[in-house]
Amino acid sequence: MVAENQKVLVWDPFVRVFHWSLVLTYLVAWVSAEEWASLHEQAGYFILVLIGLRVVWGVIGTRHAQFRDFVYGRATTIGYLKSLKAGTPRHYLGHNPAGGWMVIVLLLSLVVAGVSGILIGDTEHGLWKEIHEASANLTLLLVVVHISGVIAASLMHGENLVRAMLTGRKMRRSEDV
Amino acid sequence: MSETNGIRLSWVFVAVALISGAALLYDVAPAGASDDHDEARELMASGEVMPLADLLARPELEGLRVLEADLEREHGRMVYELELLDPTGRVDKRYYDATSGEPLGARLED
């Protein structure tokens, strides 16, 4: 039994390396898009490899890395968003329901961007290019929402979620889900 | 899965991710390499640049071996630069306007 109000390892090494590698690679892909085709393509492949590994890890990984730990149903998610709006959100040791869905939507958006990017091939214009650009832009928008959510949750719970994604450790609380 | 085993397996995933990343990074071509290629193909397709094969088929180039052929942008126009070896072993460079095919001069290589 783990005592309450103590720091526990929540994010295993792969979850953290995955997160920050994805941040860095997405940045590289974004910046190299019009400048350096080869780097852009390799960055895209790496994003797909990372997500492939993350999906496997989401099934077989450690407790809070697993999808079943952070993908909640509609009622729970809406309830959480309402409590967030009211300024009294429940504290989750892993991802909260909103954060969990953000993970899913971000990964889906990146998969669409990656696959459509491959399907562009040698064509200069076309449907895949449109989809590629739209999904890459959508991802950027989601990143902004994600960072806003992280800041909001950090402030409301008085904890530094960015640091938690670096060290892997979070303070366990008695009321934790 | 016990917590210790989970963390251990997590490191295996880290290793796989980093090795994949390094392998992909190793295969990155220098900046601009593929862009030039794409641009040349586009210029060719739009008719702005004549195909290299048409240039090489010219009678004046008969009997010469092409050591190198470059397509370059010089002072705003596209220029073919050919490095040619003649049967006597002499190497010279000849320049052609890549749009019109007009000869622009030659330079003897040492």
Asked whether residue B12 is assigned to any structural domain, the reply reads no
Query: Residue A141 — very low, low, confident or very high, per pLDDT cuts 50/70/90?
Result: very high
How many separate domains does chain B show? 1
- Residue A174 is predicted with a pLDDT of 80
d(CA A43, CA A114): 9
How many separate domains does chain A show? 1
Asked whether residue B14 is assigned to any structural domain, the reply reads no
Asked whether residue B103 is assigned to any structural domain, the reply reads yes
Answer whether residue A4 shows pLDDT above 70. Answer: no
Burial of residue B57 (number of CB atoms within 10 Å: 0-12, 13-18, 19+)? exposed
- Residue B35 is predicted with a pLDDT of 56
Asked whether residue A5 is assigned to any structural domain, the reply reads no
Q: Is B28 on the interface with A (CB under 8 A)?
A: yes
In angstroms, what separates the C-alpha of B71 from chain A's closest C-alpha?
20
Asked whether residue A3 is assigned to any structural domain, the reply reads no
Asked whether residue B104 is assigned to any structural domain, the reply reads yes
- Of A38, A29, A36, whose CA–CA distance to A136 is shortest? A29
Read off the pLDDT of residues A11-69 as tens digits, 9 standing for 90 and up: 999 999 999 999 999 999 999 998 888 899 999 999 999 999 999 999 999 999 999 99
In angstroms, what separates the C-alpha of B33 from chain A's closest C-alpha?
8
Who wins on pLDDT, B81 or A3? B81
Decide: A149 and A102 in contact? Cβ < 8 Å. yes
- Residue B26 is predicted with a pLDDT of 92
CATH (domain of B99): 3.10.450.40
Mutate to test the interface with B, among A2, A22, A62 (most CBs of B within 10 A): A62
Tokens of B56: 């090489």
Show the domain range for A123. Answer: 10-171
CATH (domain of A27): 1.20.950
Answer whether residue A166 shows pLDDT above 70. Answer: yes
pLDDT mean across residues, chain A: 92
Asked whether residue A1 is assigned to any structural domain, the reply reads no
CB contact under 8 A, B29 and A38: yes
Query: Residue A1 — very low, low, confident or very high, per pLDDT cuts 50/70/90?
Result: very low
Read off the pLDDT of residues B55-78 as tens digits, 9 standing for 90 and up: 888 888 888 888 888 888 777 788
CB atoms within 10 A of CB A177: 13
Asked whether residue B16 is assigned to any structural domain, the reply reads no
Asked whether residue A97 is assigned to any structural domain, the reply reads yes
Show the domain range for B78. Answer: 49-108
Asked whether residue A162 is assigned to any structural domain, the reply reads yes
The pTM score is 0.72
Asked whether residue B37 is assigned to any structural domain, the reply reads no
- Residue A31 is predicted with a pLDDT of 95
DSSP code of residue B79: E
Asked whether residue B43 is assigned to any structural domain, the reply reads no
CB contact under 8 A, B6 and A35: no
- Cα–Cα distances (Å) from A157 to A57, A153, A168, A169, A170, in that order, read 28, 6, 17, 15, 11
d(CA B99, CA B43): 9
Q: Is B46 on the interface with A (CB under 8 A)?
A: no
